[in-house]
């Protein structure tokens, strides 16, 4: 899998990082500086360990739940970042869209959808001109095989026509 290793647009990264830093600031604000304070307390680690040991079981449970939540948040951030990168890559694969064009995720999906419809139309016109089957056809998940007419119609049925 190439997840996360795709070349990314430096400009997108810059925007993402800027947003990320502001949102982290927002988060620390929302959570009453919970995370920031934790980072600033490095020198008090020993004291904290002693306090942990003297905590009642309920407090341990609470801390455990919180650390699990933090881990889940981090995973969610990573997941959403992968999603955003995929949108960026999809955007760059769209023709007629200059690299510096601002496209929302919704716009990107709509344009990609109409581009696929356009390509499908070209493919069908080409098949009408040549009576033999097209040598290359794409099927989910991205296999390149020759196939019959009914296969294509089923794909069209699955994807639907978008305009």
Partner DNA sequence: TAGGCCATCTGGTCCT
Partner DNA sequence: AGGACCAGATGGCCTA
- Residue ranges that bind DNA, judged by CB under 7 A: 16, 18-20, 22-27, 29-31, 68-77, 79-81, 84, 104-107
Residue 90 near residue 103, CB atoms below 8 Å:
no
Cβ 54 to DNA shortest distance, Å: 24
Cβ 24 to DNA shortest distance, Å: 6
Half-sphere exposure of 159 (CA within 13 A, CB side): 18
Cβ proximity to DNA, 97 vs 123, nearer residue: 97
Cβ proximity to DNA, 87 vs 152, nearer residue: 87
With a CB cutoff of 8 Å and minimum separation 6, the contacts of 117 are 161, 162, 163
Cβ proximity to DNA, 73 vs 124, nearer residue: 73
Cβ proximity to DNA, 101 vs 148, nearer residue: 101
Q: Tell me which residue of 115, 110, 95 sits closest to 123, measured CA to CA.
A: 115
Cβ proximity to DNA, 47 vs 77, nearer residue: 77
Cβ 37 to DNA shortest distance, Å: 14
d(CA 141, CA 106): 23
Q: Tell me which residue of 76, 6, 62, 1 sits closest to 34, measured CA to CA.
A: 62
Cβ 10 to DNA shortest distance, Å: 14
Any bridge partners for residue 145, and if so which? Answer: 137
């Amino acid at each position: 899998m190439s997840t996360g290793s795709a070349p990314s647009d430096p400009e997108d990264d810059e925007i993402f990082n800027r947003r990320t830093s502001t949102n982290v600031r927002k988060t620390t604000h929302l959570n009453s500086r919970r995370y920031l304070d934790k980072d600033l307390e490095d020198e008090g680690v020993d004291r904290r360990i002693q306090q942990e040991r003297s905590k009642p079981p309920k407090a341990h449970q609470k801390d455990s739940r919180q650390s699990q939540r933090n881990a889940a948040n981090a995973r969610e951030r990573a997941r959403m970042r992968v999603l955003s990168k995929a949108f960026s890559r999809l955007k760059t694969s769209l023709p007629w869209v200059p690299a510096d064009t601002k496209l929302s995720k919704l716009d990107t999906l709509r344009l990609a959808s109409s581009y696929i419809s356009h390509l499908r139309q070209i493919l069908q016109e080409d098949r009408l001109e040549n009576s033999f089957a097209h040598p290359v056809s794409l099927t989910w998940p991205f296999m390149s095989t020759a196939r019959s007419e009914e296969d294509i119609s089923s794909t069209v049925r699955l994807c639907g026509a978008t305009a």
